[in-house]
Structure 1
Amino acid sequence: MAGTWEAAGRWRLRAGLLAMALLGGALPASAAPVLEQVVLVQRHGVRAPTQSADILARWTTRAWPSWPVGAGELTDKGAQVVALIATAMRNHYVQAGLLAAQGCPGQAVLVWSDARDERTRRSGRMMAQSFAPGCNADVTHLPDGARDPLFRRVGKACRYDPAELSRAVKASGPLVDPASARAIADVSAILRPQGPPLDPEASRLQVSDKSIRLSGPLAIAAASAEIFLLQYAQGLPAEDVAWGQAASPAALKPVLAARDRAVWFARQMPVVARVQGAGMARVMLETLSGQPRATAPAVGAGLKLLAFAGHDDNLSNMAGIFGVDWSLPGQPDKTAPATAFALERWRDPETGADSLSLRIWYAELQGMRALDPASVHAVSVPLPDCPGEAFCPLQTVRARILPDLPAGCGG
């Protein structure tokens, strides 16, 4: 036990020394933990709404603003937002000594995208080019349109436990909590200024061994709030962002409470996240542990950065699996376009022990709209295995998470 506390003390000391070094203080190179590998998932950039025109027309009689691309497709602005954050990540990891400042990274960087959607394939290309500028780097993925089990796998041998789901839903309190009820009222006033208002009590959650389905006012308010945020991030005129009624980050924050509540039940609740995100979490932890992987994405020796180009679902799944949550100063959406969940592996230069840290990379909403590099930040999030600590032993995290991941889920 004494050895454990001494080791933890050394990590706390070195974490403090590393923080001093990053702020400009002098530090012997051998004193700080060494960053050796990063595995991350970044959400695609700004996209057009995924809902059809018919569905949007059922929500409101108001005319929705037009988009420059088809439903669900990445906009040019969205691609630029991905590059904005990916470039900031590369610059940071160059400064941290993980990536080389010059030359092409070769096998040291691998970007793997969800093949099913244009927005993830294109976002992945932007990530690859940003992580390896000037190198003609490209993203890899399954054949276009293929369903990749690493991004979501439900069905066949991968099923929910309805009884466990029902217990978790009950333990989470009412489907519509006070914050989401207020959000539904606010969104209702925007969508239906002449009424009739959306009734929060009409919200429904249906679960089975294959699906979780939200319907009614909570689902409508959650999706509408995200559309309003996408309109703002895209740079639509203020009068077109929620028809001028939620045209600022401050005004968008309260309506996004409906989205937060919906995301909790549909993606982040641990019993849900472990099924949806098992494949990705397993590959992340196995890669960070140095385990080779022959199947796609193939992981071999020398890999410094593995990046998945995915969806907000994937970030929420990882939050649920790893048992973390976060808020982002200046960004009202916790899984906003191009936000990244990044696990970092650090090695103690004296003992050789490996530990993890977690960062969430994001852009402030106003900075996203303006494509301002100064708006990109990283928030450090403690892992629950080591409360209040900057680092957590890799084996401790593995021992908690891997046994709970369903064997039939993921690639």
Structure 2
Amino acid sequence: MKRRHTLLAFTLALAPALAHAAPRVERVVMVMRHGVRAPIDGEVPAGTLTAAPWPRWPVAAEQITPHGAQAMAIRGRADRAWLAAQGVLPATGCPTPDSVKVWTNVSQRTIDSGAGFVAGFAPGCGIAIGHRAAGAVDPLFEALRAHTTDFRAADAIASIDTFTGGMDRLVARHAADLRLLDRVLACAQPTCSPGAPPALRATADGRAIELDGPIRRTSGIAQVLLLEAAEGMPHPGWGRATPGVLERLGRLHAALFDVFTRSPYMAAHQAGPLGRRVIASLTAADGPALDLLVGHDTNVTALAAALGVDLVAPGYAKNDTAPAGALVMEVLRDAAGARFVRLSYRTQTPAELGRLGSRVTTTPITLPGCARLCPVARFTAQLAARLAPAVAR
């Protein structure tokens, strides 16, 4: 009898501690940009002047490099260790069937990035890399091309002009960055990337928008210089693109997202299908321990904008995107059964990618109007309210 009373007293004493125990991570949803790739044709516009030739890349345009594939495998190993420390998956061995789901866009660079990640995350375990057939348009990653929403170019342009102050002001805000890029290119001309003045307009079919001007021309150049560093080239930007310079030039790349993904209207339409897919994964009664979606910089920036948050990471300009950078949403459950979302951004610096290092930085993000641990219902409701409705096509 005395022992029973002792056990009861111990249980009652333990109950408050259990009620306040740290929430347990149940699953993780990650939306990731692909890894280090060769420049895309036209990313450095024709007519761009430089003091010396551009370096050669080891693969065709826009493909993941061997270095980039290695970096993805290293990232996969690092994320496996991180998830194991969170108690989501075992540290070694093959995960149980259906505990890891990977879905990528149809572009080869996203497929190869998913494969590289899995090669490090669970080598030899045969985890499938899911994607649509070659040539298909996946609305998760290309919402405008798939015509998933009632997108109206005129409304988009009005929203972008309000968000940025207009294209002339956008260019004026980045005048110092444009001058810095000219110094890196060292072309001995007043402007190394000449072209048309800033202009934002609807495409001929009215289903998308087009941008001309300095931001359009230089954002890709800035990205190529960053990719040189992430590729481990010995002298990015002919030795003039130091880490600090690359971070400043990243503002030009981020400015492109101010036009194409970050205004409320563009975020709502660009992130519509992807946002709904994330909501479904976060609220499912059951699901994989890791749900990984591998797409492009526009997907990560549009989802961040739809969430109302900025992307901040060491080595990158605010709202620029890291190769293999991932928005991470952890679903946690406390002892009382309440479920929460914890949001963060996991990245590696260009220098760390370049040296094939394993250090990954997790930058916490707090959803506006919510605590660091945001109730699932509130998190998903806020996201859903910022997404454009789907339409039948």
TM class by smaller structure: 0.7 to 0.9
Unaligned runs of 5+ in 2: 1-16
Shift of 1:199: 7.0
Of 349, 354, 363, 1:369 maps to 354
Alpha carbons 1:354, 1:393 under 8 Å: kept: yes
Alpha carbons 2:148, 2:273 under 8 Å: kept: no
Is the alpha carbon distance of 1:207 and 1:385 closer, same or farther for their aligned partners in structure 2, counting shifts above 3 Å? farther
Of 338, 344, 350, 2:330 maps to 344
Of 259, 267, 271, 2:265 maps to 271
Alpha carbons 2:230, 2:354 under 8 Å: kept: yes
Alpha carbons 1:357, 1:391 under 8 Å: kept: yes
Separation in structure 1 between the aligned mates of residue 243 and residue 173 of structure 2, nearest angstrom: 17
Unaligned runs of 5+ in 1: 1-26, 292-300
Separation in structure 2 between the aligned mates of residue 253 and residue 330 of structure 1, nearest angstrom: 6
Alpha carbons 2:148, 2:392 under 8 Å: kept: no
Is the alpha carbon distance of 1:303 and 1:29 closer, same or farther for their aligned partners in structure 2, counting shifts above 3 Å? farther
Separation in structure 2 between the aligned mates of residue 164 and residue 57 of structure 1, nearest angstrom: 31
After TM superposition, list the pairs within 5 Å mapping 1:132-151 onto structure 2.
132-151=122-141
The reply on whether 1:39 has 2:36 as its aligned counterpart is no
Alpha carbons 1:285, 1:398 under 8 Å: kept: yes
Separation in structure 2 between the aligned mates of residue 67 and residue 29 of structure 1, nearest angstrom: 56
Is the alpha carbon distance of 1:211 and 1:131 closer, same or farther for their aligned partners in structure 2, counting shifts above 3 Å? same
Alpha carbons 1:109, 1:306 under 8 Å: kept: yes
* 1:164 matched residue in structure 2: 155
Shift of 1:311: 0.9
After TM superposition, list the pairs within 5 Å mapping 1:200-215 onto structure 2.
202-207=197-202, 209-215=206-212
How many pairs were matched up? 367
Separation in structure 2 between the aligned mates of residue 365 and residue 135 of structure 1, nearest angstrom: 29
Of 243, 253, 260, 1:249 maps to 243
Q: Secondary structure at the match of 1:133?
A: coil
Separation in structure 1 between the aligned mates of residue 180 and residue 239 of structure 2, nearest angstrom: 13
Give CA deviations for 1:53-95 in whole Å, capped at 9, x if unaligned: 9x64422265221100001010011112222223222211111
Separation in structure 1 between the aligned mates of residue 251 and residue 224 of structure 2, nearest angstrom: 14
Alpha carbons 2:157, 2:201 under 8 Å: kept: no
1:391 partner letter: L
The two structures have a TM-score, normalised by structure 1, of 0.82
Q: Secondary structure at the match of 2:98?
A: helix
The reply on whether 1:328 has 2:325 as its aligned counterpart is no
1:320 partner letter: A
* 1:282 matched residue in structure 2: 276
Of 213, 219, 222, 1:222 maps to 219
Separation in structure 2 between the aligned mates of residue 345 and residue 58 of structure 1, nearest angstrom: 49
Is the alpha carbon distance of 1:60 and 1:199 closer, same or farther for their aligned partners in structure 2, counting shifts above 3 Å? closer
Alpha carbons 1:85, 1:362 under 8 Å: kept: no
Give CA deviations for 1:14-61 in whole Å, capped at 9, x if unaligned: xxxxxxxxxxxxx979711111111111111111110249x6442226
Of 230, 233, 239, 1:233 maps to 230
The two structures have a TM-score, normalised by structure 2, of 0.86
Separation in structure 1 between the aligned mates of residue 202 and residue 239 of structure 2, nearest angstrom: 36
The reply on whether 1:74 has 2:64 as its aligned counterpart is yes
**RMSD of aligned residue pairs (Cα, Å):** 2.5
1:256 partner letter: G
Shift of 1:371: 1.1
Separation in structure 2 between the aligned mates of residue 267 and residue 392 of structure 1, nearest angstrom: 24
Alpha carbons 2:171, 2:215 under 8 Å: kept: no
Separation in structure 2 between the aligned mates of residue 163 and residue 91 of structure 1, nearest angstrom: 47
Separation in structure 2 between the aligned mates of residue 270 and residue 82 of structure 1, nearest angstrom: 32
* 1:103 matched residue in structure 2: 93
The reply on whether 1:400 has 2:386 as its aligned counterpart is no
Separation in structure 2 between the aligned mates of residue 400 and residue 51 of structure 1, nearest angstrom: 38
2:312 partner letter: S
Alpha carbons 1:331, 1:363 under 8 Å: kept: no
After TM superposition, list the pairs within 5 Å mapping 1:54-69 onto structure 2.
56-60=45-49, 62-69=52-59
Is the alpha carbon distance of 1:410 and 1:319 closer, same or farther for their aligned partners in structure 2, counting shifts above 3 Å? farther
1:385 partner letter: G
* 2:255 matched residue in structure 1: 261
1:107 partner letter: D
Give CA deviations for 1:95-147 in whole Å, capped at 9, x if unaligned: 111112243222110011111x1111110111223332331323111113322
